[in-house]
Each structure stands twice: as C-alpha cells, then as structure tokens.
C-alpha cells in the first residue's frame, strides 16, 4: 500500500462509521434509566393514560414555559386536534408552505379544509410573510374560501417568522398553529418554541430532535382554556368522565411507554442541544462561503433537528459524499404542490423559490454524538465535493 492510501485508512479508522442520526449512541447513555421507566409502566399496567402522561405534560411545560401541554399520538394528531377544536371545516382556507413534510397538508385536508400553498423565504426556507399576505388577499378576492388559519413550519428546527405571521393573522382575523414538529428546542429573541404562536404542535417521531421509541407528539398552548377540548378530541370526543362523546374526536392519545421514554430523553435534551449547536456552528463556519447553508431569522436560534444546505450540483456532491462514507438525505426533493395527493391545490405558475430550493438542497449528518474528528471529516469532504463538482 502506498503512503496516501495508508493515510486515508488511518483517518477513516479514527472517524469510524458516521451515522446520519445516531439513536444507538444516545441509547447507550440512558439505557438503564429508560429500562427503569419501562419497567414502571409494566408494573402499574396503565398502558394508556398512565401517570407518565401527566408527568411528561408537566415536564414539557417546565422546559418550554408554555402555559399547558397536551400529549398526543403523533405530530400529525397535534396539528389536527387544534384545527378540529376551532371548527376548521369545508370552505376554510389554511395557509401552509409547500416546502414541508406531507403531514402539514394532510392535517389540513383531513379536517375538510383546503390548503393554500405559500412561498418560502430563500434564506431560511420557512414561510415568506409577504407572499402569505398576497395569497390571503387572492383568496379573499376570489371569494370561494374563507381565510381561516396559518400553519408556519419551523423547517429543520429554525423558528419561522412568527412576529410577521402573527400580526398578519391578527389583522386578518385568522389563527396560527405553529408546526414545530422539527422545531422543539428552538428560540426566537430568547423566547422558546411553544410560545412563539398561540398554539404549537410538535412531533416526537424517533428521528426528531426529541424522539420517542415510536409515534408521539404534543400540543403546547398559551391558553389553558384550550386543554379541555383538546383532551376530549384526543379521546374520541368524550366528556371528562369519558362516558359519552360530546364532540367528534378520534384516538389521538400518546401511550404511557412513549411518555416514559420521552421523560428520560427530555432530561438530556439540553446537553444534546448544546452538542448540536457546536456541530451546526462548525458546519456554518466551513460552508458559508462554498455553499448556501440554511439561514435564520434575526434573533432566531435553531433547535438543529436537521442541517441542510443548498449546492448547485447536488447529485455529484451527494454521490461523492456517499462514496466517502458520509451519509446524506434530501428533505424535500419534491415540494407538496408537486405531489399527486396535493397537486390539485398547486398555485398557478408554481412556486419558484420553493422549486429552486427543492432542486438544490440536501442534509448532512446532524446529531449530538458526532465526534470532532467526524465533523472535520464531513467538512473536508463537503469542501472537496463542492470544489470537485465545480
């Protein structure tokens, strides 16, 4: 073997296998505590509505400063429940970005309302407030639908432009549900996600920054009066005694095992967030001149669920990285308005910024257990890939 190959091998072995998201390293750290928690559920046997649910809701309130939290079955349930509670229905227009996970649109359509896709800002990849205003005006002028709600998305963890969007909603007599499925742990001007809009939905899907070992989500609110209706809707619309249905609901509950896991993960969340911030800062410093990493609104701090950047020659760059052992992913190659299920709602003329970003974006490994050697290896290879790809 020649010297160059030896050097490459030595470097590779100090770097080891790079995971895109490393749930195994996290589990090794807290395995015993999670086992204790799961055993407690096995012992009390209240698999649904066990004491872990209220304990988690209290812990979420303590962590975020929200007025109340309602644990639910998924991030999707956390979006649907507040829409149903406000009576969102056929004839209502709900404004969402097209550059998001499909759940944002599914939540709207499952209520019977119509999604209206809004353009994104080219720097933060979150809802463009000026385009939102234009599209609300268009819907009003057309007169077919009633502008009812806005769902901004904290894409990849960065808070959307809530100051602008909340004031548009207030002026238009609409309400805002923040889709913070990726946003937990983010802040805007020092205010935690959970308090940036009147209502916030988040997801604890295993791959999110705070993830369960199955499906789970939560709704955070500034108004404790919301809780009664939400708790009812997540339990088939039943009354407080769960005797009869007083409204339409569904099975939107979180189970006790997921709450048990989340309690232990929440306990280490802030240490993990600090580690994510270190990785993101290193990436930003290395990539800001050679690529276009996601930017953040003034005063916004991302929860760094994912780290994405735009390059003009994405296929060549991701192929190069893959060959070097750096896993990548694409969120999202296809914006919602181009998917078969939602294309009936595509705006005439498409969405230029959204489509341009979707063609160029990719995500790098982002998790708290990346070693400095791995981060350096990833950065070196992104630099080499972008330069080689020209």
Q: CA 86: distance to chain centroid?
A: 23
Q: CA 51: distance to chain centroid?
A: 27
- Least CB distance to ligand PLP at residue 376 (A): 29
Question: Which residue from 70, 165, 181, 193 is in contact with ligand PLP, where contact means CB under 6 A?
Answer: 181
Q: Measured from the CB atom, is 211 or 368 closer to ligand PLP?
A: 211
Residue 119 three-state SS: coil
Interface segment toward ligand PLP; rule CB under 6 A; list 174-182, 334-342, 345-353, 364-372: 174-182
Number of H helices, E strands in the chain: 13, 13
Tokens of 175: 């309400």
Asked if residues 59 and 184 have their Cβ atoms less than 8 Å apart, the reply is no
Q: Measured from the CB atom, is 303 or 368 closer to ligand PLP?
A: 303
Interacting residues with ligand PLP between 58 and 87 (CB under 6 A) = 74-76
Q: Measured from the CB atom, is 79 or 168 closer to ligand PLP?
A: 79
- Least CB distance to ligand PLP at residue 339 (A): 14
- Least CB distance to ligand PLP at residue 338 (A): 17
Print the binding letters for residues 123-162 with ligand PLP: x by CB under 6 A, - otherwise: ------------------------------x---------
Question: Which residue from 114, 124, 182, 302 is in contact with ligand PLP, where contact means CB under 6 A?
Answer: 182
**Can you state the percent helix, strand and coil of the chain, rounding each to 5?**
45, 15, 40
- Least CB distance to ligand PLP at residue 215 (A): 6
Cis peptide leading into residue 360 (ω within 30°): no
Going edge to edge, which strands form the sheet with 92-97? 68-72, 217-221, 199-203, 175-179, 146-150, 92-97, 114-118
Q: Measured from the CB atom, is 205 or 287 closer to ligand PLP?
A: 205
- Least CB distance to ligand PLP at residue 107 (A): 7
Asked if residues 270 and 301 have their Cβ atoms less than 8 Å apart, the reply is no
Element (H, E) at 192: strand 191-192
Q: Measured from the CB atom, is 200 or 381 closer to ligand PLP?
A: 200
| Beta-strand relationship, 92-97 and 114-118 | parallel
Print the binding letters for residues 7-26 with ligand PLP: x by CB under 6 A, - otherwise: --------------------
Q: Measured from the CB atom, is 203 or 374 closer to ligand PLP?
A: 203
Q: Where are the beta strands (DSSP E) in 77-123?
A: 92-97, 114-118
- C-alpha distances in angstroms, 114 versus 31, 106, 342? 44, 10, 10
Q: Measured from the CB atom, is 150 or 385 closer to ligand PLP?
A: 150
| Nearest one of 158, 109, 179 to 342, comparing CA atoms | 109
How many other β-carbons are positioned within 10 Å of the β-carbon of residue 28? 11
Q: List Cβ neighbours of 191 (8 Å cut-off, separation of 6 or more).
A: none
Print the binding letters for residues 188-217 with ligand PLP: x by CB under 6 A, - otherwise: ---------------x-x---------x-x
Interacting residues with ligand PLP between 95 and 124 (CB under 6 A) = 100-101, 103-104
- Least CB distance to ligand PLP at residue 232 (A): 20
Q: Measured from the CB atom, is 124 or 203 closer to ligand PLP?
A: 203
* Nearest-CB residue for ligand PLP: 75
Asked if residues 80 and 103 have their Cβ atoms less than 8 Å apart, the reply is no
Q: List Cβ neighbours of 154 (8 Å cut-off, separation of 6 or more).
A: 126, 160, 178, 179, 180, 181, 182, 183, 186, 193, 303
- Least CB distance to ligand PLP at residue 73 (A): 8
- Least CB distance to ligand PLP at residue 246 (A): 26
Q: Is 179 in the site for ligand PLP (CB under 6 A)?
A: yes
Interacting residues with ligand PLP between 222 and 261 (CB under 6 A) = none
Total of residues contacting ligand PLP (CB under 6 A): 15
**Chain residues in the site for ligand PLP (CB under 6 A):** 74-76, 100-101, 103-104, 153, 179, 181-182, 203, 205, 215, 217
């Amino acid at each position: 073997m020649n010297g160059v190959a030896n050097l490459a091998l030595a470097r590779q072995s100090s770097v080891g296998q790079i995971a895109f998201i490393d749930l195994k390293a996290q589990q090794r750290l807290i395995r015993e505590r999670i086992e204790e928690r799961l055993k407690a559920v096995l012992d009390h046997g209240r698999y649904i509505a066990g004491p872990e649910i209220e304990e988690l809701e209290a812990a979420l309130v303590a962590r975020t400063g929200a007025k109340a939290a309602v644990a639910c079955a998924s991030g999707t349930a956390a979006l649907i429940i507040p829409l149903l509670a406000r009576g969102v229905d056929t004839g209502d227009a709900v404004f969402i970005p097209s550059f998001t996970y499909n759940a944002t649109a599914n939540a709207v359509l499952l209520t019977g309302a119509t999604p209206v896709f809004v353009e994104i800002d080219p720097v933060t990849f979150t809802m463009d407030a000026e385009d939102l205003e234009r599209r609300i005006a268009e819907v009003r002028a057309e007169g077919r639908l009633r502008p009812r709600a806005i769902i901004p998305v904290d894409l990849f963890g960065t808070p959307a432009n809530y100051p602008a969007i909340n004031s548009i909603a207030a002026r238009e007599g609409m309400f805002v549900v923040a889709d913070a499925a990726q946003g937990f742990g983010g802040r805007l001007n020092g205010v935690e996600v959970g308090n940036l809009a009147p209502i916030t939905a988040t997801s604890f899907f295993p791959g999110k920054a705070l993830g369960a070992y199955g499906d789970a989500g939560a709704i955070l609110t500034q108004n404790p009066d919301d809780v009664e209706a939400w708790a009812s809707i997540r339990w088939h619309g039943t009354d407080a005694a769960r005797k009869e249905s007083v409204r339409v609901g569904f099975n939107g509950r979180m189970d006790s095992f997921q709450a048990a896991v989340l309690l232990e993960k929440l306990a280490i969340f802030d240490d993990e967030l600090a580690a994510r911030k270190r990785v993101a800062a290193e990436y930003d410093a290395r990539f800001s001149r050679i690529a276009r990493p996601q930017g953040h609104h003034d005063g916004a701090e991302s929860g760094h669920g994912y780290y994405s950047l735009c390059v003009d020659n994405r296929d060549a760059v991701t192929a190069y990285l893959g060959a070097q052992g750096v896993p990548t992913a694409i969120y999202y190659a296809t914006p919602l308005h181009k998917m078969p299920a939602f294309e009936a709602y595509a705006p005439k003329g498409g969405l230029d910024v959204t489509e341009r970003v979707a063609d160029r974006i990719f995500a790098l490994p982002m998790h708290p257990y990346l070693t400095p050697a791995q981060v350096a290896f990833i950065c070196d290879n992104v630099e080499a890939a972008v330069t080689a790809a020209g």
